[in-house]
Structure 1
Protein backbone atom coordinates (compact mmCIF):
# COMPACT_ATOMS: atom_id res chain seq x y z
CA UNK A 1 0.00 0.00 0.00
CA UNK A 2 1.23 3.47 -0.77
CA UNK A 3 0.52 6.54 1.29
CA UNK A 4 -0.84 9.65 -0.43
CA UNK A 5 -0.59 13.24 0.71
CA UNK A 6 -2.81 16.25 0.21
CA UNK A 7 -1.76 19.39 -1.60
CA UNK A 8 -0.42 20.82 1.65
CA UNK A 9 2.23 18.08 1.69
CA UNK A 10 3.95 18.32 5.09
CA UNK A 11 0.74 18.83 7.01
CA UNK A 12 -0.31 15.23 6.35
CA UNK A 13 2.69 13.92 8.25
CA UNK A 14 1.50 15.76 11.39
CA UNK A 15 -1.93 14.05 11.42
CA UNK A 16 -2.64 11.05 13.67
CA UNK A 17 -2.30 7.72 11.78
CA UNK A 18 -6.05 7.05 11.92
CA UNK A 19 -6.76 10.38 10.15
CA UNK A 20 -4.26 9.99 7.34
CA UNK A 21 -5.50 9.22 3.86
CA UNK A 22 -4.45 6.01 2.14
CA UNK A 23 -5.07 4.74 -1.32
CA UNK A 24 -4.52 1.38 -3.01
CA UNK A 25 -3.04 1.27 -6.49
CA UNK A 26 -4.34 -1.86 -8.17
CA UNK A 27 -1.96 -3.54 -10.56
CA UNK A 28 -2.98 -4.92 -13.91
CA UNK A 29 -2.67 -8.64 -14.59
CA UNK A 30 0.43 -8.04 -16.72
CA UNK A 31 2.05 -6.09 -13.88
CA UNK A 32 1.25 -8.86 -11.40
CA UNK A 33 2.74 -11.49 -13.71
CA UNK A 34 5.89 -9.43 -14.27
CA UNK A 35 6.23 -8.79 -10.55
CA UNK A 36 6.01 -12.49 -9.71
CA UNK A 37 8.48 -13.37 -12.45
CA UNK A 38 11.00 -10.76 -11.28
CA UNK A 39 10.81 -12.25 -7.78
CA UNK A 40 11.74 -15.70 -9.10
CA UNK A 41 15.49 -15.57 -8.55
CA UNK A 42 16.42 -18.72 -10.46
CA UNK A 43 14.35 -17.62 -13.47
CA UNK A 44 15.90 -14.14 -13.51
CA UNK A 45 19.46 -15.48 -13.27
CA UNK A 46 18.67 -17.98 -16.03
CA UNK A 47 17.14 -15.27 -18.21
CA UNK A 48 20.29 -13.14 -17.89
CA UNK A 49 22.51 -16.12 -18.74
CA UNK A 50 20.34 -17.10 -21.70
CA UNK A 51 20.31 -13.55 -23.10
CA UNK A 52 24.10 -13.38 -22.77
CA UNK A 53 24.44 -16.71 -24.62
CA UNK A 54 22.16 -15.45 -27.40
CA UNK A 55 24.08 -12.17 -27.76
CA UNK A 56 27.40 -14.03 -27.73
CA UNK A 57 26.22 -16.50 -30.38
CA UNK A 58 24.77 -13.94 -32.79
CA UNK A 59 27.04 -10.92 -32.26
CA UNK A 60 30.27 -12.66 -31.29
CA UNK A 61 31.08 -14.08 -34.76
CA UNK A 62 31.14 -10.55 -36.18
CA UNK A 63 33.69 -9.47 -33.57
CA UNK A 64 35.93 -12.55 -33.42
CA UNK A 65 38.99 -12.61 -35.67
CA UNK A 66 38.52 -16.25 -36.75
CA UNK A 67 35.71 -17.67 -38.86
CA UNK A 68 34.22 -21.08 -38.13
CA UNK A 69 35.19 -22.05 -41.70
CA UNK A 70 38.74 -20.66 -41.61
CA UNK A 71 41.73 -22.96 -41.25
CA UNK A 72 44.53 -21.96 -38.87
CA UNK A 73 48.07 -23.37 -38.68
CA UNK A 74 47.47 -24.29 -35.03
CA UNK A 75 46.30 -27.90 -35.19
CA UNK A 76 45.00 -29.66 -32.05
CA UNK A 77 45.98 -26.81 -29.74
CA UNK A 78 44.61 -26.74 -26.17
CA UNK A 79 42.71 -23.66 -24.94
CA UNK A 80 44.89 -20.57 -24.85
CA UNK A 81 44.62 -16.79 -25.11
CA UNK A 82 44.80 -17.06 -28.90
CA UNK A 83 42.25 -19.89 -29.07
CA UNK A 84 40.09 -19.79 -25.89
CA UNK A 85 38.42 -23.11 -26.71
CA UNK A 86 41.44 -24.64 -28.46
CA UNK A 87 41.51 -25.98 -32.02
CA UNK A 88 40.65 -29.29 -33.64
CA UNK A 89 42.88 -31.56 -35.70
CA UNK A 90 42.04 -29.66 -38.92
CA UNK A 91 43.06 -26.33 -37.41
CA UNK A 92 39.59 -24.85 -37.00
CA UNK A 93 39.22 -22.41 -34.12
CA UNK A 94 36.82 -24.08 -31.66
CA UNK A 95 35.70 -20.77 -30.18
CA UNK A 96 34.38 -19.67 -33.57
CA UNK A 97 32.85 -23.07 -34.20
CA UNK A 98 31.06 -23.17 -30.84
CA UNK A 99 29.66 -19.69 -31.49
CA UNK A 100 28.37 -20.81 -34.88
CA UNK A 101 27.08 -24.09 -33.45
CA UNK A 102 25.25 -22.31 -30.64
CA UNK A 103 23.73 -19.88 -33.15
CA UNK A 104 22.49 -22.70 -35.37
CA UNK A 105 21.10 -24.74 -32.47
CA UNK A 106 19.30 -21.68 -31.08
CA UNK A 107 17.77 -20.89 -34.46
CA UNK A 108 16.49 -24.44 -34.74
CA UNK A 109 15.11 -24.47 -31.19
CA UNK A 110 13.42 -21.05 -31.45
CA UNK A 111 11.83 -21.85 -34.82
CA UNK A 112 10.55 -25.15 -33.37
CA UNK A 113 9.06 -23.33 -30.38
CA UNK A 114 7.40 -20.63 -32.50
CA UNK A 115 6.00 -23.03 -35.10
CA UNK A 116 4.78 -25.65 -32.64
CA UNK A 117 3.29 -23.08 -30.28
CA UNK A 118 1.40 -21.21 -33.01
CA UNK A 119 -0.06 -24.31 -34.67
CA UNK A 120 -0.79 -26.07 -31.39
CA UNK A 121 -2.39 -23.04 -29.74
CA UNK A 122 -4.74 -22.35 -32.66
CA UNK A 123 -5.57 -26.05 -33.08
CA UNK A 124 -6.33 -26.53 -29.39
CA UNK A 125 -8.34 -23.29 -29.12
CA UNK A 126 -10.57 -24.20 -32.08
CA UNK A 127 -11.11 -27.74 -30.78
CA UNK A 128 -11.93 -26.57 -27.26
CA UNK A 129 -14.25 -23.81 -28.46
CA UNK A 130 -16.43 -25.90 -30.79
CA UNK A 131 -16.30 -29.20 -28.84
CA UNK A 132 -18.53 -31.99 -30.17
CA UNK A 133 -17.59 -33.62 -33.47
CA UNK A 134 -15.04 -30.93 -34.34
CA UNK A 135 -13.25 -31.46 -31.03
CA UNK A 136 -13.32 -35.24 -31.37
CA UNK A 137 -11.87 -35.25 -34.89
CA UNK A 138 -9.19 -32.64 -34.15
CA UNK A 139 -8.08 -34.32 -30.94
CA UNK A 140 -7.85 -37.73 -32.59
CA UNK A 141 -5.50 -36.17 -35.14
CA UNK A 142 -3.46 -34.74 -32.26
CA UNK A 143 -3.40 -38.15 -30.59
CA UNK A 144 -2.14 -39.69 -33.82
CA UNK A 145 0.71 -37.18 -34.00
CA UNK A 146 1.55 -37.88 -30.35
CA UNK A 147 1.91 -41.59 -31.05
CA UNK A 148 4.50 -41.03 -33.79
CA UNK A 149 8.08 -41.74 -32.67
CA UNK A 150 9.59 -38.27 -32.82
CA UNK A 151 13.24 -39.18 -33.24
CA UNK A 152 12.62 -41.97 -35.77
CA UNK A 153 10.37 -39.85 -38.00
CA UNK A 154 12.73 -36.89 -37.74
CA UNK A 155 15.65 -39.12 -38.73
CA UNK A 156 13.89 -40.35 -41.86
CA UNK A 157 12.68 -36.94 -43.02
CA UNK A 158 15.88 -35.07 -42.09
CA UNK A 159 17.95 -37.51 -44.13
CA UNK A 160 15.98 -36.42 -47.21
CA UNK A 161 16.23 -32.67 -46.64
CA UNK A 162 19.99 -32.25 -46.95
CA UNK A 163 20.73 -31.32 -43.35
CA UNK A 164 19.39 -27.76 -43.59
CA UNK A 165 18.67 -26.33 -40.13
CA UNK A 166 15.49 -24.75 -41.48
CA UNK A 167 14.01 -28.06 -42.63
CA UNK A 168 15.12 -29.81 -39.47
CA UNK A 169 13.25 -27.21 -37.41
CA UNK A 170 10.10 -27.54 -39.52
CA UNK A 171 10.15 -31.34 -39.26
CA UNK A 172 10.49 -31.31 -35.47
CA UNK A 173 7.85 -28.56 -35.15
CA UNK A 174 5.47 -30.65 -37.23
CA UNK A 175 5.84 -33.49 -34.73
CA UNK A 176 5.60 -31.51 -31.46
CA UNK A 177 2.67 -29.10 -31.91
CA UNK A 178 0.20 -31.67 -30.56
CA UNK A 179 1.57 -31.28 -27.03
CA UNK A 180 0.63 -27.62 -27.01
CA UNK A 181 -2.78 -28.27 -28.57
CA UNK A 182 -3.89 -30.51 -25.71
CA UNK A 183 -2.82 -28.01 -23.06
CA UNK A 184 -4.54 -25.09 -24.80
CA UNK A 185 -7.69 -27.14 -25.44
CA UNK A 186 -8.08 -27.94 -21.74
CA UNK A 187 -7.64 -24.26 -20.88
CA UNK A 188 -10.16 -23.12 -23.50
CA UNK A 189 -12.73 -25.69 -22.32
CA UNK A 190 -12.82 -23.93 -18.96
CA UNK A 191 -12.66 -20.41 -20.37
CA UNK A 192 -15.46 -20.79 -22.93
CA UNK A 193 -18.06 -20.91 -20.12
CA UNK A 194 -16.88 -17.69 -18.49
CA UNK A 195 -19.00 -14.54 -18.37
CA UNK A 196 -16.78 -12.53 -20.70
CA UNK A 197 -17.27 -15.09 -23.47
CA UNK A 198 -21.04 -15.00 -23.00
CA UNK A 199 -20.91 -11.21 -23.08
CA UNK A 200 -18.93 -11.29 -26.33
CA UNK A 201 -21.50 -13.63 -27.86
CA UNK A 202 -24.33 -11.36 -26.74
CA UNK A 203 -22.64 -8.40 -28.41
CA UNK A 204 -22.51 -10.31 -31.70
CA UNK A 205 -18.82 -11.20 -31.76
CA UNK A 206 -17.90 -13.82 -34.34
CA UNK A 207 -16.41 -17.16 -33.35
CA UNK A 208 -13.04 -16.14 -34.78
CA UNK A 209 -13.03 -12.93 -32.74
CA UNK A 210 -13.92 -14.78 -29.56
CA UNK A 211 -11.14 -17.32 -30.15
CA UNK A 212 -8.38 -14.89 -31.13
CA UNK A 213 -9.43 -11.85 -29.14
CA UNK A 214 -10.63 -13.42 -25.90
CA UNK A 215 -9.75 -17.09 -25.48
CA UNK A 216 -6.15 -17.21 -26.74
CA UNK A 217 -5.02 -14.05 -24.88
CA UNK A 218 -6.40 -15.53 -21.66
CA UNK A 219 -4.47 -18.74 -22.33
CA UNK A 220 -1.09 -17.05 -22.63
CA UNK A 221 0.17 -18.49 -19.35
CA UNK A 222 0.27 -22.17 -20.38
CA UNK A 223 1.18 -21.16 -23.94
CA UNK A 224 4.32 -19.31 -22.80
CA UNK A 225 5.31 -22.10 -20.43
CA UNK A 226 4.98 -24.73 -23.17
CA UNK A 227 6.92 -22.51 -25.58
CA UNK A 228 9.91 -22.48 -23.22
CA UNK A 229 9.68 -26.26 -22.82
CA UNK A 230 9.69 -26.61 -26.61
CA UNK A 231 12.88 -24.53 -26.87
CA UNK A 232 14.65 -26.99 -24.58
CA UNK A 233 13.06 -29.96 -26.37
CA UNK A 234 14.04 -28.55 -29.74
CA UNK A 235 17.69 -28.01 -28.91
CA UNK A 236 17.99 -31.49 -27.37
CA UNK A 237 16.26 -33.13 -30.35
CA UNK A 238 18.48 -31.26 -32.82
CA UNK A 239 21.48 -32.33 -30.76
CA UNK A 240 20.39 -35.96 -30.95
CA UNK A 241 19.82 -35.78 -34.72
CA UNK A 242 23.18 -34.11 -35.35
CA UNK A 243 24.94 -36.55 -33.03
CA UNK A 244 23.51 -39.44 -35.05
CA UNK A 245 24.58 -37.78 -38.29
CA UNK A 246 21.13 -36.81 -39.56
CA UNK A 247 21.02 -33.22 -38.37
CA UNK A 248 22.98 -30.17 -39.51
CA UNK A 249 25.66 -31.13 -42.02
CA UNK A 250 29.09 -29.62 -42.79
CA UNK A 251 30.22 -27.06 -43.79
CA UNK A 252 27.64 -25.66 -41.37
CA UNK A 253 27.77 -26.80 -37.76
CA UNK A 254 25.71 -27.08 -34.59
CA UNK A 255 26.38 -28.00 -30.98
CA UNK A 256 25.20 -31.56 -31.58
CA UNK A 257 27.43 -31.93 -34.63
CA UNK A 258 30.44 -30.59 -32.71
CA UNK A 259 29.86 -33.13 -29.95
CA UNK A 260 29.46 -35.89 -32.53
CA UNK A 261 32.67 -34.96 -34.32
CA UNK A 262 34.62 -34.84 -31.05
CA UNK A 263 33.43 -38.12 -29.51
CA UNK A 264 36.55 -39.97 -30.68
CA UNK A 265 38.81 -37.24 -29.24
CA UNK A 266 37.24 -37.07 -25.78
CA UNK A 267 40.37 -38.56 -24.17
CA UNK A 268 43.04 -36.75 -26.20
CA UNK A 269 41.36 -33.39 -26.83
CA UNK A 270 38.53 -33.20 -24.25
CA UNK A 271 37.89 -29.48 -24.83
CA UNK A 272 36.39 -30.29 -28.22
CA UNK A 273 33.76 -32.52 -26.60
CA UNK A 274 32.99 -30.98 -23.23
CA UNK A 275 32.74 -27.29 -24.18
CA UNK A 276 29.90 -27.63 -26.73
CA UNK A 277 28.30 -30.19 -24.40
CA UNK A 278 28.40 -27.64 -21.58
CA UNK A 279 26.61 -25.10 -23.78
CA UNK A 280 23.87 -27.63 -24.57
CA UNK A 281 23.35 -28.27 -20.86
CA UNK A 282 23.47 -24.55 -20.01
CA UNK A 283 20.84 -23.63 -22.61
CA UNK A 284 18.52 -26.48 -21.63
CA UNK A 285 18.79 -25.70 -17.90
CA UNK A 286 18.30 -21.94 -18.26
CA UNK A 287 15.25 -22.45 -20.48
CA UNK A 288 13.75 -24.88 -17.96
CA UNK A 289 14.27 -22.43 -15.09
CA UNK A 290 12.73 -19.63 -17.17
CA UNK A 291 9.75 -21.91 -17.81
CA UNK A 292 9.42 -22.56 -14.07
CA UNK A 293 9.41 -18.82 -13.43
CA UNK A 294 6.74 -18.21 -16.06
CA UNK A 295 4.60 -21.04 -14.70
CA UNK A 296 4.72 -19.57 -11.19
CA UNK A 297 4.10 -16.05 -12.50
CA UNK A 298 1.02 -17.04 -14.49
CA UNK A 299 -0.38 -19.35 -11.81
CA UNK A 300 -3.85 -17.92 -11.02
CA UNK A 301 -3.68 -19.44 -7.53
CA UNK A 302 -0.89 -17.03 -6.63
CA UNK A 303 -1.95 -14.43 -4.09
CA UNK A 304 -2.73 -11.09 -5.72
CA UNK A 305 -0.11 -8.52 -4.79
CA UNK A 306 -1.00 -4.90 -4.43
CA UNK A 307 1.25 -2.02 -3.63
Structure 2
Protein backbone atom coordinates (compact mmCIF):
# COMPACT_ATOMS: atom_id res chain seq x y z
CA UNK A 1 0.00 0.00 0.00
CA UNK A 2 1.42 3.41 -0.93
CA UNK A 3 2.03 6.20 1.55
CA UNK A 4 -0.62 8.32 -0.15
CA UNK A 5 -3.31 5.70 0.28
CA UNK A 6 -2.36 5.16 3.90
CA UNK A 7 -2.83 8.77 4.86
CA UNK A 8 -6.15 9.58 6.55
CA UNK A 9 -8.45 11.80 4.56
CA UNK A 10 -9.53 14.83 6.55
CA UNK A 11 -12.19 17.33 5.51
CA UNK A 12 -11.52 20.97 6.00
CA UNK A 13 -14.14 23.65 6.24
CA UNK A 14 -13.49 27.26 5.46
CA UNK A 15 -15.25 29.66 7.76
CA UNK A 16 -16.00 33.02 6.27
CA UNK A 17 -17.55 35.89 8.15
CA UNK A 18 -20.39 37.49 6.26
CA UNK A 19 -21.61 41.05 6.42
CA UNK A 20 -24.58 41.76 8.64
CA UNK A 21 -26.63 42.99 5.66
CA UNK A 22 -25.99 39.73 3.81
CA UNK A 23 -27.06 37.66 6.80
CA UNK A 24 -30.22 39.73 7.24
CA UNK A 25 -31.08 39.35 3.55
CA UNK A 26 -30.59 35.56 3.66
CA UNK A 27 -32.69 35.17 6.79
CA UNK A 28 -35.45 37.27 5.26
CA UNK A 29 -35.48 35.11 2.10
CA UNK A 30 -35.99 32.02 4.28
CA UNK A 31 -39.21 33.55 5.64
CA UNK A 32 -41.59 32.43 2.87
CA UNK A 33 -44.63 34.27 4.16
CA UNK A 34 -42.67 37.53 4.35
CA UNK A 35 -41.22 37.15 0.85
CA UNK A 36 -44.63 36.31 -0.62
CA UNK A 37 -46.18 39.26 1.22
CA UNK A 38 -43.47 41.60 -0.05
CA UNK A 39 -44.16 40.52 -3.63
CA UNK A 40 -47.90 41.05 -3.13
CA UNK A 41 -47.27 44.47 -1.61
CA UNK A 42 -45.10 45.47 -4.58
CA UNK A 43 -47.93 44.39 -6.90
CA UNK A 44 -50.37 46.55 -4.92
CA UNK A 45 -48.02 49.54 -5.21
CA UNK A 46 -47.68 48.97 -8.98
CA UNK A 47 -51.47 48.66 -9.25
CA UNK A 48 -51.92 51.97 -7.43
CA UNK A 49 -49.24 54.05 -9.15
CA UNK A 50 -48.65 52.43 -12.54
CA UNK A 51 -52.20 51.19 -13.10
CA UNK A 52 -53.74 54.67 -13.59
CA UNK A 53 -51.20 55.38 -16.34
CA UNK A 54 -52.31 52.28 -18.26
CA UNK A 55 -56.03 52.13 -17.43
CA UNK A 56 -58.43 53.86 -19.80
CA UNK A 57 -60.57 55.43 -17.08
CA UNK A 58 -59.72 58.04 -14.47
CA UNK A 59 -61.24 58.03 -11.00
CA UNK A 60 -63.10 61.23 -11.92
CA UNK A 61 -64.51 59.95 -15.25
CA UNK A 62 -68.24 59.37 -15.47
CA UNK A 63 -69.27 56.67 -17.94
CA UNK A 64 -72.64 55.70 -19.37
CA UNK A 65 -72.51 52.38 -17.55
CA UNK A 66 -74.43 52.97 -14.35
CA UNK A 67 -74.27 50.48 -11.48
CA UNK A 68 -72.79 47.69 -13.57
CA UNK A 69 -71.45 44.52 -11.99
CA UNK A 70 -67.84 43.47 -12.68
CA UNK A 71 -67.15 42.70 -16.34
CA UNK A 72 -64.31 42.80 -18.86
CA UNK A 73 -65.03 46.48 -19.52
CA UNK A 74 -65.20 47.34 -15.82
CA UNK A 75 -63.39 44.60 -13.84
CA UNK A 76 -64.48 46.08 -10.50
CA UNK A 77 -67.86 47.28 -11.77
CA UNK A 78 -69.28 50.82 -11.62
CA UNK A 79 -71.27 52.86 -9.12
CA UNK A 80 -74.63 54.59 -9.43
CA UNK A 81 -73.07 57.67 -11.04
CA UNK A 82 -70.97 55.71 -13.53
CA UNK A 83 -67.53 55.92 -11.95
CA UNK A 84 -65.24 53.02 -12.81
CA UNK A 85 -64.65 51.30 -9.46
CA UNK A 86 -61.22 49.96 -10.38
CA UNK A 87 -60.00 53.47 -11.21
CA UNK A 88 -61.37 54.69 -7.89
CA UNK A 89 -59.70 51.82 -6.00
CA UNK A 90 -56.41 52.71 -7.71
CA UNK A 91 -56.71 56.31 -6.57
CA UNK A 92 -57.88 55.27 -3.11
CA UNK A 93 -54.93 52.92 -2.73
CA UNK A 94 -52.58 55.74 -3.78
CA UNK A 95 -53.90 58.07 -1.12
CA UNK A 96 -54.07 55.43 1.61
CA UNK A 97 -50.50 54.29 0.97
CA UNK A 98 -49.26 57.86 0.87
CA UNK A 99 -50.91 58.65 4.19
CA UNK A 100 -49.70 55.42 5.80
CA UNK A 101 -46.08 56.00 4.71
CA UNK A 102 -46.20 59.59 6.00
CA UNK A 103 -47.61 58.37 9.33
CA UNK A 104 -44.80 55.81 9.60
CA UNK A 105 -42.18 58.45 8.77
CA UNK A 106 -43.46 60.97 11.30
CA UNK A 107 -44.03 58.41 14.04
CA UNK A 108 -40.70 56.66 13.48
CA UNK A 109 -38.53 59.79 13.39
CA UNK A 110 -40.17 61.36 16.43
CA UNK A 111 -40.38 58.11 18.38
CA UNK A 112 -36.81 57.04 17.60
CA UNK A 113 -35.34 60.36 18.73
CA UNK A 114 -37.53 60.45 21.84
CA UNK A 115 -36.67 56.89 22.84
CA UNK A 116 -32.94 57.36 22.16
CA UNK A 117 -32.76 60.51 24.28
CA UNK A 118 -34.69 58.91 27.15
CA UNK A 119 -32.61 55.74 27.04
CA UNK A 120 -29.25 57.53 26.92
CA UNK A 121 -29.83 60.20 29.57
CA UNK A 122 -31.81 58.04 32.01
CA UNK A 123 -32.60 59.56 35.42
CA UNK A 124 -35.26 62.22 35.84
CA UNK A 125 -35.35 63.12 32.15
CA UNK A 126 -36.06 59.51 31.25
CA UNK A 127 -38.75 59.31 33.92
CA UNK A 128 -40.45 62.49 32.67
CA UNK A 129 -40.28 61.52 29.01
CA UNK A 130 -41.66 58.03 29.64
CA UNK A 131 -44.54 59.40 31.69
CA UNK A 132 -45.45 61.61 28.73
CA UNK A 133 -45.35 58.49 26.56
CA UNK A 134 -47.65 56.71 29.01
CA UNK A 135 -50.13 59.59 28.89
CA UNK A 136 -50.23 59.58 25.08
CA UNK A 137 -50.63 55.79 25.05
CA UNK A 138 -53.73 56.04 27.23
CA UNK A 139 -55.45 58.26 24.67
CA UNK A 140 -57.89 56.49 22.31
CA UNK A 141 -56.08 57.11 19.03
CA UNK A 142 -59.02 57.05 16.62
CA UNK A 143 -61.29 59.08 18.92
CA UNK A 144 -58.67 61.79 19.47
CA UNK A 145 -57.70 61.85 15.79
CA UNK A 146 -61.35 62.11 14.75
CA UNK A 147 -61.95 64.95 17.21
CA UNK A 148 -58.93 66.89 15.93
CA UNK A 149 -59.71 66.22 12.27
CA UNK A 150 -63.33 67.27 12.82
CA UNK A 151 -62.07 70.75 13.74
CA UNK A 152 -60.95 71.17 10.14
CA UNK A 153 -57.20 71.20 10.86
CA UNK A 154 -55.50 71.28 7.46
CA UNK A 155 -58.84 71.13 5.69
CA UNK A 156 -58.90 67.30 5.95
CA UNK A 157 -56.12 67.08 3.39
CA UNK A 158 -54.06 63.90 3.30
CA UNK A 159 -51.05 65.47 5.01
CA UNK A 160 -53.15 66.70 7.93
CA UNK A 161 -54.47 63.18 8.51
CA UNK A 162 -50.88 61.88 8.40
CA UNK A 163 -49.67 64.49 10.91
CA UNK A 164 -52.53 63.79 13.33
CA UNK A 165 -52.09 60.02 13.30
CA UNK A 166 -48.28 60.26 13.24
CA UNK A 167 -48.41 62.45 16.36
CA UNK A 168 -50.37 59.70 18.13
CA UNK A 169 -48.35 56.64 17.06
CA UNK A 170 -44.80 57.71 17.97
CA UNK A 171 -44.99 56.45 21.61
CA UNK A 172 -45.00 52.83 20.39
CA UNK A 173 -41.77 53.46 18.48
CA UNK A 174 -40.17 55.31 21.39
CA UNK A 175 -40.70 52.41 23.80
CA UNK A 176 -39.02 49.95 21.42
CA UNK A 177 -36.08 52.25 20.71
CA UNK A 178 -35.59 53.10 24.38
CA UNK A 179 -35.35 49.41 25.24
CA UNK A 180 -32.66 48.87 22.59
CA UNK A 181 -30.73 51.99 23.65
CA UNK A 182 -30.71 50.90 27.30
CA UNK A 183 -28.65 47.88 26.29
CA UNK A 184 -26.50 49.68 23.73
CA UNK A 185 -25.47 52.49 26.09
CA UNK A 186 -23.51 50.00 28.21
CA UNK A 187 -21.48 48.70 25.27
CA UNK A 188 -17.77 49.39 24.95
CA UNK A 189 -18.06 51.35 21.70
CA UNK A 190 -20.18 53.96 23.48
CA UNK A 191 -17.53 54.31 26.17
CA UNK A 192 -14.89 54.62 23.45
CA UNK A 193 -16.89 57.36 21.74
CA UNK A 194 -17.14 59.27 25.01
CA UNK A 195 -13.40 58.88 25.58
CA UNK A 196 -12.76 60.40 22.15
CA UNK A 197 -14.83 63.45 23.12
CA UNK A 198 -18.15 62.67 21.42
CA UNK A 199 -21.10 64.52 22.92
CA UNK A 200 -24.53 63.03 23.57
CA UNK A 201 -26.12 64.36 20.33
CA UNK A 202 -23.34 62.77 18.26
CA UNK A 203 -23.58 59.51 20.20
CA UNK A 204 -27.32 59.37 19.53
CA UNK A 205 -27.14 60.18 15.83
CA UNK A 206 -23.90 58.41 14.89
CA UNK A 207 -23.82 55.42 17.21
CA UNK A 208 -27.07 54.55 18.99
CA UNK A 209 -29.64 55.05 16.21
CA UNK A 210 -27.58 53.28 13.50
CA UNK A 211 -27.08 50.30 15.81
CA UNK A 212 -30.79 50.26 16.65
CA UNK A 213 -31.71 50.41 12.95
CA UNK A 214 -32.97 46.83 12.85
CA UNK A 215 -35.58 47.39 15.56
CA UNK A 216 -36.49 50.76 14.05
CA UNK A 217 -37.10 49.26 10.60
CA UNK A 218 -39.31 46.53 12.04
CA UNK A 219 -41.46 48.89 14.12
CA UNK A 220 -41.68 51.37 11.22
CA UNK A 221 -42.97 48.60 8.96
CA UNK A 222 -45.66 47.67 11.44
CA UNK A 223 -46.56 51.36 11.82
CA UNK A 224 -47.43 51.43 8.09
CA UNK A 225 -50.08 48.77 8.70
CA UNK A 226 -51.39 50.76 11.66
CA UNK A 227 -51.50 53.87 9.48
CA UNK A 228 -53.54 52.11 6.78
CA UNK A 229 -56.13 51.00 9.31
CA UNK A 230 -56.14 54.38 11.06
CA UNK A 231 -56.73 56.29 7.81
CA UNK A 232 -59.47 53.85 6.83
CA UNK A 233 -61.17 54.33 10.19
CA UNK A 234 -61.07 58.14 9.99
CA UNK A 235 -62.34 58.17 6.41
CA UNK A 236 -65.07 55.70 7.36
CA UNK A 237 -66.13 58.11 10.12
CA UNK A 238 -66.27 60.95 7.60
CA UNK A 239 -63.37 63.01 8.99
CA UNK A 240 -60.60 61.68 6.77
CA UNK A 241 -60.07 62.22 3.06
CA UNK A 242 -62.99 64.08 1.53
CA UNK A 243 -64.56 64.06 -1.94
CA UNK A 244 -63.81 64.81 -4.76
CA UNK A 245 -60.65 62.98 -3.75
CA UNK A 246 -60.94 59.47 -2.39
CA UNK A 247 -59.23 56.81 -0.29
CA UNK A 248 -59.90 53.17 0.50
CA UNK A 249 -61.58 54.08 3.78
CA UNK A 250 -63.79 56.66 2.09
CA UNK A 251 -64.83 54.17 -0.61
CA UNK A 252 -65.83 51.66 2.07
CA UNK A 253 -67.71 54.37 3.95
CA UNK A 254 -69.77 55.75 1.07
CA UNK A 255 -70.63 52.27 -0.19
CA UNK A 256 -71.44 50.58 3.12
CA UNK A 257 -75.17 50.69 2.34
CA UNK A 258 -74.59 48.89 -0.97
CA UNK A 259 -73.26 45.67 0.58
CA UNK A 260 -76.40 43.70 -0.29
CA UNK A 261 -77.35 45.36 -3.58
CA UNK A 262 -73.96 46.23 -5.16
CA UNK A 263 -71.40 44.34 -3.05
CA UNK A 264 -68.49 45.00 -5.43
CA UNK A 265 -68.49 48.66 -4.42
CA UNK A 266 -67.83 47.72 -0.80
CA UNK A 267 -65.73 44.56 -0.97
CA UNK A 268 -63.06 45.60 -3.49
CA UNK A 269 -61.73 48.59 -1.48
CA UNK A 270 -62.18 46.57 1.73
CA UNK A 271 -60.15 43.74 0.22
CA UNK A 272 -57.28 46.11 -0.55
CA UNK A 273 -57.28 47.46 3.02
CA UNK A 274 -57.01 43.91 4.37
CA UNK A 275 -54.41 42.93 1.77
CA UNK A 276 -52.13 45.87 2.54
CA UNK A 277 -52.42 45.46 6.31
CA UNK A 278 -51.75 41.70 6.19
CA UNK A 279 -48.81 41.88 3.79
CA UNK A 280 -47.13 44.65 5.78
CA UNK A 281 -47.57 42.68 9.01
CA UNK A 282 -46.00 39.57 7.47
CA UNK A 283 -43.13 41.63 6.06
CA UNK A 284 -42.64 43.08 9.53
CA UNK A 285 -42.52 39.57 11.01
CA UNK A 286 -39.92 38.57 8.44
CA UNK A 287 -37.78 41.61 9.17
CA UNK A 288 -38.03 40.99 12.90
CA UNK A 289 -36.72 37.44 12.42
CA UNK A 290 -34.04 38.58 9.98
CA UNK A 291 -32.68 41.21 12.36
CA UNK A 292 -32.48 38.67 15.21
CA UNK A 293 -29.09 37.09 14.45
CA UNK A 294 -28.34 33.65 15.89
CA UNK A 295 -24.86 33.39 14.45
CA UNK A 296 -22.35 35.59 12.63
CA UNK A 297 -20.36 32.90 10.80
CA UNK A 298 -21.53 30.29 8.33
CA UNK A 299 -19.75 27.34 6.80
CA UNK A 300 -18.74 27.68 3.18
Shorter-normalised TM-score: what interval? over 0.9
Q: For residue 88 of structure 1, what is the aligned residue in structure 2? A: 79
Separation of aligned partners in 2, 1:283 and 1:180: 20
2:113 to 122, 130, 149: 122
The answer to whether 1:246 aligns with 2:235 is: no
Q: For residue 26 of structure 1, what is the aligned residue in structure 2? A: 17
Q: Is the 1:60–1:99 contact (alpha carbons within 8 Å) kept by the matching residues of 2?
A: yes
1:16 to partner: Cα distance: 7.5
Secondary structure of residue in 1 paired with 2:280: helix
1:303 to partner: Cα distance: 3.6
User: After the TM superposition, which residues 132-147 of structure 1 pair with which residues of structure 2 at under 5 Å, given as runs?
Assistant: 132-147=123-138
Separation of aligned partners in 2, 1:254 and 1:16: 71
User: After the TM superposition, which residues 114-193 of structure 1 pair with which residues of structure 2 at under 5 Å, given as runs?
Assistant: 114-159=105-150, 160-161=152-153, 162-193=155-186
The answer to whether 1:284 aligns with 2:277 is: yes
Count of aligned pairs between the two proteins: 291
User: After the TM superposition, which residues 202-241 of structure 1 pair with which residues of structure 2 at under 5 Å, given as runs?
Assistant: 202-241=195-234
1:66 to 57, 63, 78: 57
Q: For residue 55 of structure 1, what is the aligned residue in structure 2? A: 46
User: After the TM superposition, which residues 270-281 of structure 1 pair with which residues of structure 2 at under 5 Å, given as runs?
Assistant: 270-281=263-274
1:305 to partner: Cα distance: 4.9
Cα deviations across residues 80-112 of structure 1 (Å, max 9, x unaligned)? 111110000010000100000011000011100
Q: Is the 2:16–2:297 contact (alpha carbons within 8 Å) kept by the matching residues of 1?
A: no
Separation of aligned partners in 1, 2:264 and 2:122: 54
The higher relative CO (CA closer than 8 Å, separation ≥ 6) is in 2
Cα deviations across residues 203-247 of structure 1 (Å, max 9, x unaligned)? 222212211111111111221111111111110011111111111
Structure 2-normalised TM-score?
0.94
1:112 to 74, 83, 103: 103
Structure 1-normalised TM-score?
0.92
Q: Is the 2:70–2:264 contact (alpha carbons within 8 Å) kept by the matching residues of 1?
A: yes
Unaligned runs of 5+ in 1: 1-14
Separation of aligned partners in 2, 1:192 and 1:276: 46
Q: For residue 3 of structure 2, what is the aligned residue in structure 1? A: none
Moved more, 252-261 or 203-212: 203-212
Cα deviations across residues 5-41 of structure 1 (Å, max 9, x unaligned)? xxxxxxxxxx9853x7653221011111111011111
1:286 to partner: Cα distance: 0.3
Unaligned runs of 5+ in 2: 1-6
Q: Is the 1:32–1:305 contact (alpha carbons within 8 Å) kept by the matching residues of 2?
A: no
Separation of aligned partners in 2, 1:305 and 1:297: 15
Q: For residue 101 of structure 1, what is the aligned residue in structure 2? A: 92
Q: Is the 1:113–1:228 contact (alpha carbons within 8 Å) kept by the matching residues of 2?
A: yes
